[in-house]
Amino acid sequence: LTSNQRRMWRTMHNVEARRKVFFHTLPYVGGRKENCKIDCYLDIASLYSYLAYLDLLRNRPILASHGVTVEFHPTFLGALNQATGNKPPWTLPAKAAHGPFDAARSIARQGTYPNGSPLNITFPENLFINGKTILPLRALHCIKSKFPPETLDQTLLYLFHIFWSPPNLNLTVPENLKSTLLAVPEGFSGPTANDDKKKKLFSAEQVEEIMKGAQAEEFKGKLKKTTDEALERGAFGAPWIWATNDKGEGEPFFGSDRFHFVYKHLGLPYRDVEVLANGDDPKWGKLWRKENGAKL
């Protein structure tokens, strides 16, 4: 801290004001960005796509305040793997052994749905069969084309929830997909006890339209185009993120735990991962001492 900040600290009794002195956020003077964008290519069959989606959904208002737009692109992971020679991690013994550790840590880090209810994630009994998600991905492209953006957000979240929560419904079966679309609660931000009683996001007629769209050449083509675009941007798995900064520079990022790199590329203020000294308060970060009268 500078000598002036030290003097300010000694006269401050407000915790939030002291915190702002520490983190040099009085105020952030970076300004709004122009033409910054995060394109996220994801598949509901990908756990880490799910976690990246939750992270971006939660932080989208903050990103918007900096002038960063976020767009989600339903993308067929199976085609990415086939085109690049990549293999699902559970097919490689060493990765399969490590997978449960990484998955549990990643799920715990995300913690909750947007509405605050705890995440309830289990792997489908046959992920290889359930993971052939061409039909639901086409349906999502139909929804993206015909409905407002928030409708896609809610539907995508609900399909992730149904795919990854018990009983892990197989959404590649047309009847299962149709019943799931009919059940999406309006304003869905996570499961609640009274979801069955809530008004539904889609009418029966709209669901019929979406199901027909999922079989139409238009949305077969849109899914292929999106998947090809991801490949052109270097994708070999999902989630695949393409971040474009205010200089028009685009870079690729892979996975659900690379957002500190994304934010750095976009020129956004963020807190990086850091280890704290003994006595530092994890809530505020380095330099904050619990002990009264600690020297700065």
pLDDT, tens only, 250-287: 999 999 999 999 999 999 999 888 888 887 777 665 55
Looking at 96-105, 154-163, 230-239, which range is the least confident one?
Answer: 96-105
Residue 134 confidence (pLDDT): 98
pLDDT, greater one: 290 or 190: 190
Cα separation, 232 vs 235, whole angstroms: 7
Is the pLDDT reported for residue 152 higher than 80?
yes
Residue 287 · residue 296 · CB < 8 Å: yes
> What pLDDT sits at residue 23?
44
Task: Kindly state the helix (H) or strand (E) to which residue 141 belongs, with its residue range.
Answer: helix 134-146
Residue ranges, comma separated, of all CATH 3.40.30.10 domains in the chain are: 37-268
Residue 104 has pLDDT above 80, yes or no: yes
Q: Report how far residue 154's alpha carbon sits from residue 112's, in angstroms, rounded to the nearest whole number.
A: 16
Per residue in 54-81, pLDDT tens? 999 999 999 999 999 999 999 999 999 9
Confirm if 277 and 70 have CB atoms less than 8 A apart. no
Say what the pLDDT of residue 273 is.
84
Q: What is the pLDDT of residue 18?
A: 47
Q: What is the pLDDT of residue 215?
A: 98
pLDDT (0 to 100) of residue 223: 99
Evaluate whether 33 touches 269 at the Cβ level (below 8 Å): no
pLDDT at 276: 84
Distance (Å, whole) CA 36 – CA 67: 7
Residue partners of 98: CB distance under 8 A and separation at least 6: none
* pLDDT for the residue 275: 84
Q: Any idea what DSSP says for residue 267?
A: T
User: pLDDT (tens digit, 9 = 90+) per residue, 126-149?
Assistant: 999 999 999 999 999 999 999 999
Predicted confidence band at 11 (pLDDT cuts at 50, 70, 90)?
A: low
Q: Is the pTM of this model over 0.75?
A: yes
Answer for the pair 86, 254: CB distance below 8 angstroms, yes or no: no
**pLDDT value at residue 167:** 96
More confident residue, 48 or 8: 48
Q: Averaged over 14-19, what is the pLDDT? A: 49
pLDDT at residue 88, as a whole number: 85
- The fold of the 37-268 domain, in CATH, is Glutaredoxin (3.40.30)
Cα–Cα distance, 29 to 14 (Å, whole number): 22
Look at residue 295 and tell me whether its pLDDT is greater than 80: no
- Calculate the average pLDDT of the chain: 89
Work out the pLDDT band at 164, boundaries 50, 70, 90: very high
Q: How confident is residue 123, by pLDDT bands cut at 50, 70 and 90?
A: very high
Cα–Cα distance, 85 to 108 (Å, whole number): 31
Query: Which pLDDT value is given to residue 26?
Result: 39
Residue 291: pLDDT band (50, 70, 90) is very low
